[in-house]
Amino acid sequence: MLTHIRPVAALTGALVLAASLTACGGSSAASDEKVVTVYSADGLKGEAGDGWYDKVFADFEKQTGIKVEYVEGGSGEMVQRALREKSNTQADVLVTLPPFIQQAGSKGLLQAYAPQGSDRVDGADKAPDGTWTSIVNNYFGFIHNKKELPTAPKSWEELLDARYKDRLQYSTPGVAGDGTAVLIKAVHDFGGREPAMEYLKKLQANNVGPSSSTSKLAPKVDKGELLVANGDVQMNFAQSKSMPNLGIWFPAKGGGKPTTFALPYAAGLVNKAPHAENGRKLLDFLLSEGAQREVSAVGGGFPARKDVKPTDANALALGKLLEGVEVFEPDWADIDENLAAYVDAWKSATGS
């Protein structure tokens, strides 16, 4: 069971290759080449070049002379790509969300490295074996169109109403990180797999259909094509700056309290990374106090370092969003082990 379920954003979409890859793992690529390749779940890079990644990557290159080559996709997609390349490693740093970061570790895709500042990250937000560390904290959530639906729904049950038919969509569990999060939260809120699947079977009558990318749902909600979709706080908060109709909310079961759980962006050094030393330098930089202070102000997220407590306007607004919301802790080891079974149960229940 997914009971006592701890800190999946993140998120799936078509690969975006921001720069051509020059590093070739397993080849004679020079370890002193001034480049580092990052495979990352989407959400931290701004569509207008104004995201946290945009800022810290530019600062990192200016400080070190090392260019960041960036590849973006869904959480599961990035792990699968790294796995396909295991015999000819291309990436130096992998950033993805639970339970996919745990999968990367269990498949031998990561090597142990404790970045500078990782001692200030909560023990639950990093791997016991040192293979990954959270760099940005985040929480699962839903979004609604504030113009057409000024008051957000309060419960899962409200979403079964006919007004949401073909105006509701959530990304695909097992493919998208935030889609997997829908499954995790439903199992928690409904008290087990069977009642959760019974509910999701009913919800399917209103669901538009599968979506491999969570980030692509926000523009549809902003335009009013959808009234409700899933997402995560960091990504949707950042998107709301250019999509004014987005509102963030957290479903509750019946008359209970709204709930959420942590979905951190976790980073690890890739095993047999072609530019491992540059990867270590980037991980150190991402966890530096300066970069962490910009997580909220620039990225709309929550610092991973517990000693960094920003007081900017975004940080205060994010804190208010979570007021009155119960945060539960998934059992990620159980989810990692049994994810396929839960996804299969969801496919069977929804006919997906």
Q: Which residues of the chain have pLDDT under 70?
A: 1-32
Q: What is the pLDDT, as a whole number, of residue 12?
A: 35
- Residue 300's DSSP bridge partners are none
Decide: 186 and 343 in contact? Cβ < 8 Å.
no
What six digits make up the tokens of 292? 């962490």
Instruction: Output the pLDDT for position 32.
Output: 63
CA–CA separation, 296 vs 217, rounded Å? 22
- 302-to-24, 284, 291, 308 alpha-carbon distances in Å: 34, 18, 12, 9
How many residues comprise the chain?
Answer: 352
Q: Per the structure block, which two tokens stand in for 33? A: 């080449």
Structure tokens at 98: 């639970």
pLDDT value for 4:
37
Those residues whose C-beta lies under 8 Å from the C-beta of residue 312, and which sit 6 or more positions away, are: 296, 297
- Tens of pLDDT, residues 32-91: 689 999 999 988 998 889 999 999 999 999 999 999 999 998 888 899 999 999 999 999
Residue type, 79: V
**pLDDT of amino acid 29:** 44
Q: Give the global pTM.
A: 0.83
pLDDT value at position 86?
95
pLDDT score recorded for residue 30: 46
326 pairs with which residues across the strands? 259
> What is residue 212's predicted lDDT score, i.e. its pLDDT?
84
- The pLDDT value recorded for residue 73 is 86
- DSSP annotation string for 234-283: HHHHHHTTT-TTEEEE--BSTTS--EEEB--EEEEEETT-TTHHHHHHHH
3-class SS of residue 138: coil
In this prediction, residue 336 carries a pLDDT of 84
Structure confidence at residue 292 (pLDDT)? 98
